[in-house]
Structure 1
């Protein structure tokens, strides 16, 4: 399992949540945001694992939290695709041993590229190697680039590998591109082009229970801190414990019942009848089925919900078949 460790400044030793110091010396480090751990990130992290094996050290991914833009331009901070915990979960099969979360501060962002390299990479982490993407920048005002990174690494006898950016067709794969797709309600392009599956997780809270009254009980999610796609009905799956179920997910208002709550997330877990109140539910979106519309009466709504559930279940079953 990829272990999450933290530092609150560039000179602090990495610590677990329990306050136990972790020795990362001799590791191979890749610094980035890694929001989504998409195909481009995966390529970078696999190379980090390979170099770590060659140098007999741990493979380390490092990100800064909160996003530096939150301090530099708080009005422009992007909504994240994935929580830090989800990123660690996605990094585990790639062979990353540690996800190092550095607390972003004004002091950190004021460090020159050379000082940042000296204090974090050399003195604190004492890494043996670095793996970065071709667009990597570091230090104050992002003044350090891959040429400087190579130069500093050579001066200090560190292995340094620069990995080309990954593309799909004529498009560079990036978290921003994925975010644009999802904000447009396009769930399938990230899956097909970037190997990214959008997951919404939240705590199940009490809803108005209208779904239960018409035979379609839903789990209403709260405390969501990742990007929510636009209003619509989506097919996907829900994880409950170690088991996954097909799911039909309704995002946004319910005009038939005059509910105008824009950020509402309702999940109908197909084939599950237990009590989920208070639990954390992880929902993976796979495809948008339709827009949110108003129905003339309850019978028309039920007919459409039956079609939605059937479509979600058929998609789920098709994905369970061996390829």
Structure 2
């Protein structure tokens, strides 16, 4: 789905529907609950379901030192939302002009003038306008005056706790990727570019892709079973991405006296060159912590076990969509 960056690019077919505004970081179960209601309201008003989000997160501009690493990049967010049935995603460039709008000005400029919205759907913690002055109570005032409907969707709970981006971020930081998958309803994913590493994995018989320029939260150090999405190298499948089982090492290589934290991905059953190509990695299960082994032979034996366990985890996992 093409992402709309400027309101001037908004097609007529994207106006006059139901709108949800927010960051939607991770597109987790709580967000999906909002989207479900958004689709219902859009059908009722006879218009499209639209999500208006921000790129970058406003906190990155207002308080960059307090801005946590995101769970999703913008194109991934759009992909997930489109999969739920959203018609168009607006990823509005966050700038000082936008952040200086009062709640009433934001509502008029974005909701009324640009989107011509007939209904809005939000979560209970929605704030908008300068200094977050716009609350859901303020929004209800504005939508009522404009003759629009407003649904404030109750948050989703899991095991007695609210599902939120911050909770998922905490789980990933702890390496609990399987628990995060449950709240995201999809495996947690990162992306980066494959660069040259030390080449030590290839010498041991386990070549790895060294991943850098990662722009989302990286899970806790450890060895993980997952899947990697790569571009094929040549022939009729050139540049057509495919998924492969992957054993992922996040952290240093203490067996060789290294302390530098790296993201190394070993693809099972894949031999094409990957340098300079983008890669996406999904995390299915944390297998073990980073360990120092007494010898290369001991390390190789453990790597064999990691790969076998990775294969079992991937086979048992829900197929890649």
Equivalent-residue separation in structure 2 for 1:48 and 1:320 (angstroms): 27
CA contact (8 A) 1:239 1:245 kept: yes
Alignment of 1:108-123 (within 5 A): 108-123=98-113
Alignment of 1:160-309 (within 5 A): 160-240=150-230, 241-262=240-261, 264-309=262-307
Change in 2 beyond 3 A, CA 1:172/1:254:
same
Equivalent-residue separation in structure 2 for 1:129 and 1:201 (angstroms): 35
> C-alpha root-mean-square deviation of aligned residues, in Å?
1.5
Change in 2 beyond 3 A, CA 1:320/1:176:
closer
CA-CA distance at 1:242 after TM superposition:
4.4
Equivalent-residue separation in structure 2 for 1:266 and 1:74 (angstroms): 28
Equivalent-residue separation in structure 2 for 1:88 and 1:288 (angstroms): 27
CA contact (8 A) 2:194 2:212 kept: yes
Q: Secondary structure at the match of 2:3?
A: strand
CA contact (8 A) 2:41 2:119 kept: yes
Alignment of 1:93-104 (within 5 A): 93-104=83-94
CA contact (8 A) 2:82 2:88 kept: no
CA-CA distance at 1:37 after TM superposition:
0.3
Once the two structures are superposed, what CA deviation does each residue of 1:273-303 show, in whole Å capped at 9, x if it has no partner? Answer: 1111221111100111111111111100000
Q: Give yes or no for the alignment of 1:83 onto 2:73.
A: yes
* Structure 2 unpaired stretches of 5+: 231-239
Alignment of 1:135-146 (within 5 A): 135-146=125-136
Q: Which runs of 4+ in 1 moved over 6 A?
A: none
CA contact (8 A) 2:246 2:267 kept: yes
CA contact (8 A) 2:190 2:214 kept: yes
Equivalent-residue separation in structure 1 for 2:45 and 2:194 (angstroms): 45
CA-CA distance at 1:267 after TM superposition:
0.6
Q: Secondary structure at the match of 2:5?
A: strand
CA contact (8 A) 2:27 2:184 kept: no
Partner of 1:18: none
Q: Larger deviation: 62-71 or 285-294? A: 62-71
CA contact (8 A) 1:14 1:100 kept: no
Q: Larger deviation: 31-40 or 136-145? A: 136-145
Partner of 1:69: 59
Task: Give the TM-score normalised by the residue count of structure 2.
Answer: 0.92
Partner of 1:28: 18
Task: Give the TM-score normalised by the residue count of structure 1.
Answer: 0.91
